[in-house]
Amino acid sequence: MLRELKTGRVRLVGAGPGAADLLTVRALRAIEGAQALLYDALISDEVLALAPAHCLKIQAGKRAGRASMAQTTINRLILRLARRGLEVVRLKGGDPSIFGRVGEEAEFLRANGVDVEVIPGVTAACAAAAQFGMPLTHRGEARRLLISTARVADGAVLEDGWQAAADRETTLALYMGRDAAGAVAAQLIGHGRSRATPVLAVENAGSLAARAIPATLAGLAAALAAAQPTGPVVLLIGDVAARAQIVEAAPVPLPLRRALP
């Protein structure tokens, strides 16, 4: 008589902005114990190297402007691996709950009887602010943080909802806005945000290759056109962006030890 194979567990893990020493301890433990690892295109080699040598590693795409694996295909693949009884880690850049489709994957897996755990990670806005010495909120200057994307599901630039970011005391952290900077600036200015509002565009936030591109809202599109970033960019828009400490030296990564027991 064949013994029924127990369904494995799936962990949806935030890998942070790229540097391995910005992983949480829980994320590190999950990666070190993975038997199958499905990872997004922006996950660093440094983080992937933490998985066991015998671990099955599958690149699952998800990079703006490039061909990637369809979400339905990813869902089915995760399920197939879990039904083989494997410890599956779905590794996502940043935090899986912020534009990481964690809800879609978790709902699909739970509907198919798979146990799911979500492990948070450092999101790009927090990594960028910390790396360049600025706060995201500041007493008397920024009393709220709004995290948004510039695009809707079909890739078009978002047409509504900009009024929420028009208040001067709101810091707007805009994801996936690199190629729509001009349209974004026009929307914000049209809804009353000052043309002189400071902006910090950060490419590859949290990594040794990070680059800060300062601008004003009115000059944002021109600044990005001149800088020609090719990596992922988060836009930090608000008065607090003027507090950024832009230096040439990159942060020195801390030595990564094995996870605590």
DSSP code at position 106: H
Q: Decide: 154 and 148 in contact? Cβ < 8 Å.
A: no
Q: What residues are labeled active site? A: 40, 62, 176
Tell which residue, 156, 142, 121, 110, has the closest CA to residue 17: 121
DSSP 125-188: HHHHHHHTT--SSBTTTB-EEEEEESB-TTSPBP-S-GGGG-STTEEEEEES-GGGHHHHHHHH
Tell which residue, 48, 18, 71, 75, has the closest CA to residue 203: 18
Residue that is written with structure tokens 């695009």 in the block: 151
Tell which residue, 116, 187, 124, has the closest CA to residue 150: 187
Q: In whole angstroms, how far apart are CA 42 and each of 54, 117, 188?
A: 22, 22, 29
